[in-house]
Amino acid sequence: MTRFFRRPSLLAAALALGLQACGGTELPADEVLPAPSEAVAGTQQLIHDAVPGDILTALQAIPGLTVVREAPPPAPGVRHFVLSYDQPADHWHPEGTRFQQRLTLRFVSAEAPMVLGSSGYAIGTQSYRLEPTALLQANQLMVEHRFFEPSRPNPANWKLLTIEQAAADHHRIVQAFKPLFAGKWISTGASKGGMTSVYHRAFYPNDVDATVAYVAPNSYGTQDPRYVAFLSKRGTPECRERIRGFQREVLERRAETEAVFDARTQWLSYELLGHDKALEFTVLEFAFAFWQYGNASRCGDIPAPGATAEELVDFLDAIVGLSYMSDSDLDYYAPYDFQAATQLGSYASEERHLRGVQRYPGGYDPRALVPFDMKPYKFNPFAMPLIEGWVKAFGQRILFVYGENDPWSTGAFDVRSRNDSYRFYVPGGNHGSSIRTLPEADRAVALERLGAWAGVPATIPLVGLKNSAGEEDIRTGFVDRRRAPPRD
């Protein structure tokens, strides 16, 4: 395997063949990746002809781009645009169905670096800064992932929801916008957004100058057992036993807890899974979510044995969220679960301590969460190992940030210093880990390399801007699935 990945031509061929095996896109024998369209290739001249210095006019000159609206300035000297970009549903057959992909642009200046943000999910239209944007005082172009509403082709051919098609989306966007922004380009994203930015680099390594990927995992299979082993070492033995005891008690007292669960979720429907399975899957998610979003300080908050059913369900809601398995949430996140079931993979849950109280053992799998028939769509076991191999062998100027206790760190990408790539862990950190929360020495290295890649100093802002809720506007971009998804 090591010798194989030292051969770039073999790796490129393997990526194409391996990803094709599941993606449903048949690649022409003489074409691994789609060539630029004539419309995109002609952007340079159209931008040149636009009114000099007028970013709005320049945006309107990009073929296929629609300026939906310009929002009020989020800060002095900053302009914020909501955009949509015309994309082919199938980049290898662009004459077919097309769709509008939603974007947002936070514009500072044409000379500043550009941060290309991959959400991995849908995006809201409000303005906020991703961490690299704030560190570099950069422009920011945020991309909604294909198949998340409203960026979904109609009709939706789910075979086209693949990592190579999404990478081609990003590639065309970079081509279209680069004539406006001649500075360095840094791609970034957190969790699935970080994964998306890595896949884009694997297929189009020269589109951007560097990548900052937060808490981005690489999983093997739809029920990767490595996650169970990882969680078996988090916290103290007493804390782990309290987590297992809590899960078992919720299911042992299912008649009581399900009645409370139903009462707490009267406004939601659970037709896909049913209330019984939804409760059990939420319980299975509990241990993962406990460490993904929390920390050891919450061990003492776990209800003691004999707590009321209301206390058990309330804590389940606080850690996982009772809407997690509802029809509305599963419909919203269907593109993610589909990708997890076909290419990305996911995690296994520990179930041994639940024997005798489970009704659906082994059933918690992303395939079970997709609200349509998954029989035609198989899992491709080669996609993620091939991406992992590319990152390790050829991934240049990539910075990975992980949380020590975040379960997704189980599948942390490996890097090589000879590629000017780095991997850091936030001690005790969870899914919200960032460059700013790294230990001082690691943070200094991360800032120095990011600044070198971007061609401008990378510095920690003294203060962040505040939104109407008093929250700082600097984010890594990870999506908290415990909360209701944005409907913007």
Q: What one-character-per-residue DSSP string does 273-286 give?
A: THHHHHHHHHHHHH
φ and ψ of 266, to 5 deg: -60, -30
b vs e for 299-309, b when ≥16 Cβ sit within 10 Å of the residue's Cβ?
beebbeeeeeb
b vs e for 107-124, b when ≥16 Cβ sit within 10 Å of the residue's Cβ?
bbeeebbbbbbbbbbbbb
Positions of the chain with pLDDT lower than 70, given as ranges: 1-53, 462-472, 484-488
Q: What is the pTM of this model?
A: 0.90
As given in the structure block, the two tokens for residue 250 are 């919720």
Query: Residue 425: what pLDDT?
Result: 98
CA distance 277 to 41: 51
Cβ partners under 8 Å of residue 11, min gap 6: 4, 5, 386, 389, 390, 393, 394
Cβ partners under 8 Å of residue 429, min gap 6: 402, 403, 404, 405, 406, 437
Cβ partners under 8 Å of residue 294, min gap 6: 319, 430
CA distance 396 to 135: 21
Query: Residue 4: what pLDDT?
Result: 34
Query: Residue 462: what pLDDT?
Result: 62
Nearest to 222 by CA among 339, 332, 330: 339
* Angle, helix 383-394 to helix 192-203, in steps of 10 degrees: 70
Query: Residue 233: what pLDDT?
Result: 96
User: Residue length, the chain?
Assistant: 488
Say if CB 166 and CB 145 are below 8 A apart. yes
Nearest to 239 by CA among 405, 473, 483: 405
CA distance 234 to 409: 12
CA distance 224 to 229: 10
First to last CA, the chain: 45
Query: Residue 432: what pLDDT?
Result: 95
